[in-house]
Amino acid sequence: MLRLRLFYGLLTIILLLWSVGAAALLLMRESVNGFDTRLRTDYRAIDAAQTIRSLTVTMNTSYLPSLAAAAPEVPDNRALYDKSHQQLADQIAIIHKSGGDDERWNSVMTRLDQVFGTYSEGYEKFFSGRILDRSDRQKLLQFQGMQTQRLTDLTENVMTLSEEKLFSGASQIVQGSGRNTIFVVTLVLLGTSIAALIYFQLVRHLVDPVANLHRSIEEISKGNFELTLPEPSPGSEFSKVVAAFNGMAAELKFRRSQNDDNLMRANMVNRAILEAIPSPVFVLSDDTGIVQINPSAENLMEKLGIAGRLPLKIQHILDDCRKTHAHFLPEDPREALLFRIEEQEFYYLPRIFRFESDYASQSGWAILLHNVSHIRWLDDMKTNLLSTVSHEIKTPLTGIRMVLHLLLEERSSQLDEMQKIMITSANDDCERLLATLNNLLDLSRAESGATELTRVPLDVRENVARAAQLYSGAASSKEIEITIDEAHGDFLEISADPIRFDEVLNNLVSNAVKHSPEKGKITLRLSKPDADHVRVSVIDQGPGVPESSQSRIFERFYRAPGQDSEGIGLGLFICREIMRAHEGRIGLRERTDNQTEFYIDVPTA
Amino acid sequence: MSPPPDSSDIPHHDKLKVLIVDDEPTLRLGFAYALTNKSTVVETAANGRQALERIEAVGFDIMILDLRMPEIDGLGVIKTLRESGNPIPIVLCSAALTPGAALCAIRHGVVDFLLKPVRPVDLRQVMDFVLRPEKRPLPLAMRAARNARFDEAIRILEDDSSPSRQASYWLGVFRSIRDSDPTGEAPVLTEEIRTSLPILAYNAPTV
């Protein structure tokens, strides 16, 4: 449709162009031809007049002087005259032919014909030979002179008139070209107006839709999917574009409403989840600005008297997390932070995790404060209960043990064999029960006292030497040799609680002695695993820890299967708790060369 | 239980008089039985009030005192006795030792601790340790401390060329008591000593 319009419009312009060109060419040719004809006729008349003048002059100079002579003589040479006369008549005819039809021209022509007649008569007289008289001849000479003069004047008139005609012809041509100009201008104006029409049509049908489309695309890019383009006239090339565009807008609108629905639902679900979580939850942007918090968090912030920011303790942990780009997901309720709210103590275990979309376009932090006050309270209760119960059992047990010991001393009376066996057995049970109670007390001490370390700078070599010394007796009874290997570097002072550190060391050495074969070797080796720690390794040649148990030996109450030694499986657990409180490590190395190596890493002072 | 053996060979007034104070009847019985012999006579009291009454009525050479008791506890007994100027040697016998209690006792010249459970042999040995100290630095220093002569005790321990672990801990304890304000309730102990109190006991666990 648009293509057709464009074609027709341009065709019109091209036709106009062609016709203007053709008209201009034709007009120019016509005027040039007219001018040429006029010029030629007029010029012929002028030429003829000139010829007349020269012929008369020739004739006069040939014949008239004889009239002035004294003796009359008859001219014999009439041939020249005849010829010239004929020529004159021809020239006059030419002038006649090229004449116009105005009065002036006609009167001049009449007079010319008359004068030519009289002039010819004069010459006929001359040739008749009858004029012999001198005065007659004089008269004739005068007459002929007069006629010649008139003839000359008339030719002059003819020339003047011809020139006038020539000029009037030129001015006629100028007039004609003026008309031509008007014609061409009219055509050009017509062409221009058609071009203007085409322009406006084009604007209306081509530019306007494109501009509309552009505006609409801009609107859509701004998110306004509501608008649709008006349907163009049928058959327009734009109808497809508009249809496609409207389709796209509708699709976008549909998709957006779907997205909005999904978002709304996701949002509601999120909100419901957040509200359902009893723990305070903070969602933070990457620069730790608060994005979202749940009612519980609002409540907490209100009670803490802080608005719009995190509690300082948590902010510090978060800052550390941001530095290391790591999550902070503690499991142990003992790592909980204490908050005082309305004179009450609350323990919150902060769990900080970083979330990141693919390609890290979206990221941030989520903080969940797990209220472990209750767990802490239960834990404390358990520890206190454990401690109280153990003490309460221990006190009467001390009396029983005392009595059993006294009986076995047999100071007042001898026991018979059976009595002795029974009391010995009872005493053994009593001792075992006491050992268990002591372990339970140790456990409660380890759990409650892990945060109450008293760390001082220690020379680790002294502690190691003391442990070796302490067990030298037990070792020598099995002919075990304990050596200290401190050849692996200079050892700075460690930062540790002297009692608890010795406890760990003693426990490991005692285990080594327990599990060493007779005549075995135990090595206490000092080394530096990294810049901040000193490692004490306790290496024995015992059978080692079964592989299936290796991951569990540090759990509380865990005892490796088939272990016949005494103990309730708390020693290594307590060691681990103590080392953990020291920010150190405890571990079992892979078994090499038939050697079992337990190690502890203690921070340097 | 049959009566203690060899209880009547030596005249009563020449015998060593021991007071056992404990709220646990079996322990009183056991302690009494363990200590009674031909040179020793043992009396028992079930709480602090009874103990003070008996001490006022009869003089004793040594007292084995429980810390946790109804009515007047061990520390109450110690304070009352020392305030009345009674220098009787006391062995404090308890299941657990807290820093506060230990310090209070030591400042009142009670430096002998027994950690329950106690074996009869521990009981007899501690009696000897208190009443017949050996001529070694630690027993001598303890004897000085029993009379609240802490400077002397410190000097003795400082002169010890090869102090045992227990001796060095005692030295730290005596020093912090000397350096603390005598009127203050609780001298500041170094954390090392605070955490190592069980070592101060006579029957301190060695392993």
- What pLDDT, in 10s, does the model give residues B114-159? 988 888 888 889 998 999 888 888 888 999 989 888 889 999 888 8
Q: Does A110 touch chain B (CB under 8 A)?
A: no
User: B1 pLDDT exceeds 60?
Assistant: no
CA distance B186 to B183: 9
Residue A75's nearest CA partner among A66, A88, A86 is A66
Chain A residues 467-506 with CB within 8 Å of chain B: 470-471, 474, 497-500, 506
CA distance A182 to A195: 20
User: What is the nearest CA distance from A402 to chain B, expressed in angstroms?
Assistant: 6
- Of all residues in chain B, the one with the smallest CA distance to A466 is B165
Strands of A533-540's sheet in order across: A481-485, A521-530, A533-540, A596-603, A585-588
CA distance A463 to A500: 11
- Of all residues in chain B, the one with the smallest CA distance to A411 is B5
User: What is the nearest CA distance from B183 to chain A, expressed in angstroms?
Assistant: 26
> Which chain B residues touch A497 with a CB distance below 8 Å?
195
pLDDT at residue number B207: 39
- Of all residues in chain A, the one with the smallest CA distance to B196 is A499
User: B6 pLDDT exceeds 60?
Assistant: no
Residue A604 has what DSSP assignment?
A: B
Q: Does B183 touch chain A (CB under 8 A)?
A: no
- Report the topology of domain A2-188: Four Helix Bundle (Hemerythrin (Met), subunit A) (1.20.120)
Residue A590 has what DSSP assignment?
A: P
pLDDT at residue number A265: 92
pLDDT at residue number A538: 92
The domain locations on chain A are 2-188, 277-371, 378-447, 453-603
Judged by CB atoms closer than 8 Å, whether chains meet at A409 and B120 is answered as yes
> Which chain B residues touch A401 with a CB distance below 8 Å?
117, 119
Residue B198's nearest CA partner among B129, B130, B101 is B101
Average pLDDT by stretches of 10, chain A with 605 residues: 77 85 85 82 83 86 76 68 86 78 80 86 80 78 86 86 80 79 84 85 80 83 76 73 83 88 90 87 85 86 83 85 84 79 85 83 86 84 80 83 88 85 91 83 68 77 86 86 82 81 88 88 88 88 82 76 64 83 85 85 86
User: What is the nearest CA distance from A554 to chain B, expressed in angstroms?
Assistant: 21
CA distance A349 to A344: 16
The pLDDT > 90 percentage for chain B reads: 19
Kindly report, residue by residue over A248-268, the tens digit of the pLDDT: 888 888 888 898 899 999 989
Q: What is the dihedral of CA A455, A461, A465, A468, to 10 degrees?
A: 80
Q: Does B30 touch chain A (CB under 8 A)?
A: yes
- Of all residues in chain B, the one with the smallest CA distance to A441 is B96
The answer to whether the CB of A574 falls within 8 A of the CB of A555 is no
Pairing of strands A337-341, A344-356: antiparallel
The answer to whether the CB of A566 falls within 8 A of the CB of A558 is no
Facing residue for B95 by CB, picked from A394, A406, A411: A394
Beta carbons within 8 Å of B202's beta carbon, 6+ residues apart? B91, B112, B113, B114, B122, B125, B126, B129
Residue B90 has what DSSP assignment?
A: E
pLDDT band at B92 (very low <50, low <70, confident <90, very high): very high
Residue A164's nearest CA partner among A209, A220, A100 is A100
CA distance A336 to A342: 19
Judging by beta carbons within 10 Å of its beta carbon (0-12, 13-18, 19+), is residue B31 exposed, middle or buried?
A: buried
Helix (H, G, I), strand (E, B) or coil at A224: coil
User: B42 pLDDT exceeds 50?
Assistant: yes
Q: Does B29 touch chain A (CB under 8 A)?
A: yes
Give the CATH architecture of domain A453-603.
2-Layer Sandwich (3.30)
| CATH code of domain A277-371 | 3.30.450.20
Judging by beta carbons within 10 Å of its beta carbon (0-12, 13-18, 19+), is residue A233 exposed, middle or buried?
A: exposed
Facing residue for A402 by CB, picked from B3, B30, B191: B30
Structure tokens given for A450: 């892990």
> Which chain A residues touch B195 with a CB distance below 8 Å?
454, 497-500
Residue A490 CA, chain-centre distance (Å), reads 58
- The residue assigned the tokens 């909005």 is A260
Helix (H, G, I), strand (E, B) or coil at A233: coil
The answer to whether the CB of B9 falls within 8 A of the CB of B39 is no
Judged by CB atoms closer than 8 Å, whether chains meet at B117 and A398 is answered as yes
Structure tokens given for A290: 């608060």
Shared fold status for A2-188 and A453-603: no
Q: Does B11 touch chain A (CB under 8 A)?
A: no
